[in-house]
Amino acid sequence: MIHRLTVQTDGPGMYEFTPELAAIVADTGVDEGLCTVFVRHTSASLVIQENADPSARHDLERWLERLVPEGDPDFTHTQEGPDDMPSHIRSALTATSLSIPILDGGLTLGTWQGVYLWEHRRRRHARRLVVHLT
Amino acid sequence: MIHRLTVQTDGPGMYEFTPELAAIVADTGVDEGLCTVFVRHTSASLVIQENADPSARHDLERWLERLVPEGDPDFTHTQEGPDDMPSHIRSALTATSLSIPILDGGLTLGTWQGVYLWEHRRRRHARRLVVHLT
Amino acid sequence: MIHRLTVQTDGPGMYEFTPELAAIVADTGVDEGLCTVFVRHTSASLVIQENADPSARHDLERWLERLVPEGDPDFTHTQEGPDDMPSHIRSALTATSLSIPILDGGLTLGTWQGVYLWEHRRRRHARRLVVHLT
């Protein structure tokens, strides 16, 4: 019912884990149900986006970096580095949990949909996810 | 447990499907549970917003179009048209899945809440949703 | 399975209700499952963010206020006051529902994660949440 998943990151960007998630669903043998993914961090988030053309992911990453830049003079939460506060804001604007229905033993993702962990911090991290299946 | 729903769209904007969703819940006879809606696309999204005064919806649509305009010189993912990349970004900023508890056989939406498919592309689309009920 | 929770607010800002949510989970005695929180409003929303250093919350609040300011000349939905339309937009950019897996009888929140009701309106409100547990 509950599974743990870790995504290793090495700098800001979207890291796809659709195959790992699909494998968890396949292993449990759930035919019909719901798969919920939860990220246990406040400076990394979740997003489902196009996984066909890497330029879509690239533009999305750049756009959010530009919307929430480092070095904002209004930031007071700066002790943990210039990339910390933008990471919290970027996380709040995207998802902390995502739910995907399961049908015929697989995730009902659309043709072009991939599931991503969005790392917002510069340093390497082992990001911990919790996956719940019904 | 799993139901499919299609929303026909004809240009950018929010399309309410609260009655269709409520009908699915009513038909299944679930008294208490959870209704999860998932959109199988990366250029259309989900949002729960005010369905009383259309001006709220109008202003929300305009605001997001202005935040993520077409023709951004930084966009590289432009092959599928000028409305494609803004659609991905607008989708990432709103929801891909939404969960609404069910009580006394109905959705526990607030008085002014409507459930919307938010189309971000110009062309007509048949947007596919998956609804999971427990 | 379904519980109601009310968060009293007194002006814009993030109001933590992690202890109240944890108490509901503890009271039901669910060992392993999923906790879904739903907010029944369109001018208040949900967010999971850092609850260690208050400066992170402060900066996040200020940033979103600046991104979606009152008095936007394009707003037409202004009858209910200058803080109404920004509240709808800020809600649409954050979450209306959140799902957190339960393991060993408790929420699987990360070390620094707190669950917040984000009030976007100036007036005092009693914000109603619905909590679903499986």
Q: What percent of chain B has pLDDT over 70?
A: 100
Q: How far is CA C14 from CA A100, C9, C74, C94, C107, in A?
A: 28, 9, 27, 12, 20
For position C121, what pLDDT does the model report? 98
Q: How far apart are CA C115 and CA C49, in angstroms?
A: 7
Q: How far apart are CA C80 and CA A126, in angstroms?
A: 46
Could you say which of C34, C64, C66 has the minimum Cβ distance to residue A132? C34
Q: How far is CA B22 from CA A15, A80, B64, B125, C20, in A?
A: 36, 47, 28, 23, 30
For position C72, what pLDDT does the model report? 98
Q: Which residues of A touch C110 (CB under 8 A)?
A: 40-42, 128
Classify B29 in phi/psi space as left (phi over 0), alpha (psi -120 to 50) or beta.
left
> pLDDT by residue (tens digit) across B48-107?
999 999 999 999 999 999 999 999 999 999 999 999 999 999 999 999 999 999 999 999
Q: How confident is the model at residue A122 (pLDDT cuts 50, 70, 90)?
A: very high
Q: How far apart are CA C93 and CA B92, in angstroms?
A: 10
Across the interface, whether the CB atoms of C38 and B134 are under 8 A apart is answered no
* Residues in Cβ contact with B27 at an 8 Å cutoff, skipping those fewer than 6 apart: none
Would you say C58 and B29 are in contact if contact means Cβ atoms under 8 Å apart? no
Across the interface, whether the CB atoms of C108 and A131 are under 8 A apart is answered no
Q: Which of A21, A25, A34 to mutate to test the interface with B (most CBs of B within 10 A)?
A: A34
Residue B134: count of CB within 10 angstroms of its CB: 18
Nearest CA in chain B to C34: B34
The tokens of A129 are what?
A: 């996810």
Q: How far apart are CA C76 and CA B53, in angstroms?
A: 11
Q: How far apart are CA B109 and CA B115, in angstroms?
A: 9
Could you say which of A42, A67, A95 has the minimum Cβ distance to residue C113? A42
Across the interface, whether the CB atoms of A33 and B72 are under 8 A apart is answered no
For position C110, what pLDDT does the model report? 98
Q: How far is CA A12 from CA A18, A54, B76, B91, B126, in A?
A: 18, 15, 19, 20, 34
Q: How far apart are CA B105 and CA B87, in angstroms?
A: 35
Q: Which of C45, C96, C99 to mutate to test the interface with B (most CBs of B within 10 A)?
A: C96
Nearest CA in chain B to C100: B99
User: Hey, what domains does chain C have and what are their CATH numbers?
Assistant: 2-133 (2.60.120.460)
Could you say which of B74, B91, B130 has the minimum Cβ distance to residue A101? B130
- Which residues in chain C come in under a pLDDT of 70? none
ipTM above 0.85, yes or no: yes
Q: How far apart are CA B22 and CA A98, in angstroms?
A: 22
Across the interface, whether the CB atoms of B41 and A109 are under 8 A apart is answered no
- Mean pLDDT rounded to a whole number for chain A: 97
- Mean pLDDT rounded to a whole number for chain B: 97
Q: Which residues of B touch A108 (CB under 8 A)?
A: 2, 38, 40, 130
Could you say which of A67, A74, A132 has the minimum Cβ distance to residue C62? A74
Residue B131: count of CB within 10 angstroms of its CB: 20
> pLDDT by residue (tens digit) across C14-30?
999 999 999 999 999 99
The tokens of C30 are what?
A: 């669910």
For position C127, what pLDDT does the model report? 98
Q: State the helix-helix crossing angle for C84-93 and C54-67, rounded to 10 degrees.
A: 120
Across the interface, whether the CB atoms of A77 and C99 are under 8 A apart is answered no
> pLDDT by residue (tens digit) across A7-54?
999 999 999 999 999 999 999 999 999 999 999 999 999 999 999 999
Across the interface, whether the CB atoms of B97 and A99 are under 8 A apart is answered yes
Q: Which of B35, B130, B131, B133 to mutate to test the interface with A (most CBs of A within 10 A)?
A: B130
Q: What is the mean pLDDT of residues B102-125?
A: 98
Across the interface, whether the CB atoms of C91 and B49 are under 8 A apart is answered yes
Q: How confident is the model at residue B33 (pLDDT cuts 50, 70, 90)?
A: very high
